[in-house]
Amino acid sequence: MAVLLAANGIPLSFYDYHRPLNGFSPEVTATGGLNVTNPQSSHTAFYNPALLAFRDKTVIAVTARYFSEQKTGYDEKELPEANSIEWYRSDFSYFGFDGEGVGFSYAALADLSLERMVSGEETTERHYADYYLDAYRISFAERSGMLGIGFNLSLLTGRVVYYRESIQDDLHFAGQFTDKRGWGYNMDFGAVVKSGGLSYGLTVPNLLSKLYWQGERNETLQRRIHTGIQWGNENNYVVSGYSRKFSLSSKSTYHLGMQQIMDFGMIRGQRHYLPLRVGINTESFRKLKEIGYSIGSGYRFSVFQIDAAFMTDHGDRERFTVQVSLSVGL
């Protein structure tokens, strides 16, 4: 939709689907927003499909997300005007099945509204758009010794409803209205190496992608590269990560987090656990106000686990997300 919306300061092709706040796993969100190294966490394939090669159980998970009223998924340099506002709708946004070497999932990559007000000498133009993009994904992975390689293949379906009006002396004059639908595909690549208590991971989301819109030129999705190192086991670990867009002018983000499990032992024949998680995400460690914080916990009993996380965005703590997920491990 670059032709339709870029001239109005809403370039959908630049939208960053893999910012830390846009994730789906409370466990990953609470430990810094990036984990490409833990094969036993829920929502594994979304962060690194190669981790499926090291799974020893099947997990079915659903996630609901709540976002602060206003936030942006764009780099500030990519929006030509500072008065562009973005709202996220909060709802159930993920359903997935991750097994040993294979996975299936649905994810709402974008479900938001965008608005921009442009003031002129006599009139003000209001641009408004609803943007939806869903991904239906199959994931698969293979293992050879310490090395795992995996891919996500997704069918994408999208819709953009765009409206423009002019405002003069409290009078509203209708302008352009369009309702476009689109479809496409994308492929993510992932790799992981596990050696004892250390894991090294790498993921390239949207390595290949294409979006086809009615009456508009085709687009690709924003690419990123994620890398990470984890020390520990699936219950107690410290994780660090690095993320960057495929752009020489983009900034890198750094992620640190840890998880500690409190084991309550056997209660009525079932083992009960309480995970405690903390993390940070930032573009720079020079100023405290540039660091985003995250915290989370959950409860695991029998084959059921519920998790919750709270995260603030780096550079703007008024932007935050709350995530809750329910998973069943078989």
Contact status, residue 133 vs residue 156, Cβ threshold 8 Å: yes
Cα–Cα distance between 151 and 119 in angstroms, integer? 46
Is residue 144 scored above 70 in pLDDT?
Answer: yes
Which class for 30: exposed (0-12), middle (13-18), buried (19 or more C-beta within 10 A)? Answer: buried
Contact status, residue 311 vs residue 281, Cβ threshold 8 Å: yes
**What are the backbone angles phi and psi of residue 56, rounded to the nearest 5°?**
-120, 10
Q: Where are the domains of the chain?
A: 2-246
pLDDT of residue 227: 96
Cα–Cα distance between 3 and 80 in angstroms, integer? 15
Contact status, residue 194 vs residue 149, Cβ threshold 8 Å: no
Write out pLDDT tens, residues 92-126.
789 999 999 999 999 988 887 777 777 777 788 87
Query: Which residue, among 53, 33, 102, has the nearest Cα to 256 in the 3D structure?
Result: 33
* pLDDT, average across residues 141-154: 96
pTM, rounded to two decimals? 0.84
Q: Look at residue 111 and give its three-state secondary structure.
A: strand
Cα–Cα distance between 37 and 51 in angstroms, integer? 7
Write out pLDDT tens, residues 307-324.
999 998 776 667 788 899
* pLDDT, average across residues 65-85: 54
Is residue 7 scored above 60 in pLDDT?
Answer: no
Residue 21 DSSP label: G
pLDDT of residue 57: 85
What percentage of the chain has pLDDT greater than the value 70? 86
Residue bearing the bigger pLDDT, 201 or 35:
201
The strand ranges marked E within the chain are 59-67, 84-88, 92-98, 102-119, 124-144, 147-168, 171-195, 198-213, 224-232, 237-245, 253-267, 270-282, 291-301, 304-313, 316-329
Instruction: Count CA atoms closer than 13 A to 156's CA, side-chain side.
Output: 25
Which residues, in sequence order, are CB contacts of 248 under 8 Å at separation 6+? none
* pLDDT, average across residues 279-305: 87
- pLDDT, averaged across the chain: 83
Which class for 72: exposed (0-12), middle (13-18), buried (19 or more C-beta within 10 A)? Answer: buried
What confidence tier does 89 reach under pLDDT thresholds 50, 70, 90? low
pLDDT of residue 14: 60
Which of 25-34, 191-200, 211-220, 304-313 shows the lowest mean pLDDT across its residues?
Answer: 211-220
Tell me how long the chain is.
330
Is residue 6 scored above 60 in pLDDT?
Answer: no
Query: Which residue, among 311, 275, 292, has the nearest Cα to 23 in the 3D structure?
Result: 311
> Which residue is it, tokens 């993009």?
133
Cα–Cα distance between 328 and 311 in angstroms, integer? 24
Is residue 70 scored above 70 in pLDDT?
Answer: no
pLDDT of residue 82: 38
Angle at CA 19, nearest 5°, toward 261 and 213?
A: 135
pLDDT of residue 80: 43
* pLDDT, average across residues 213-240: 88
Token output for 329:
């491990």
Q: State the CB neighbour count (10 A cutoff) for residue 219.
A: 21
Residue bearing the bigger pLDDT, 330 or 185:
185
Query: Which residue, among 200, 283, 280, has the nearest Cα to 245 in the 3D structure?
Result: 283
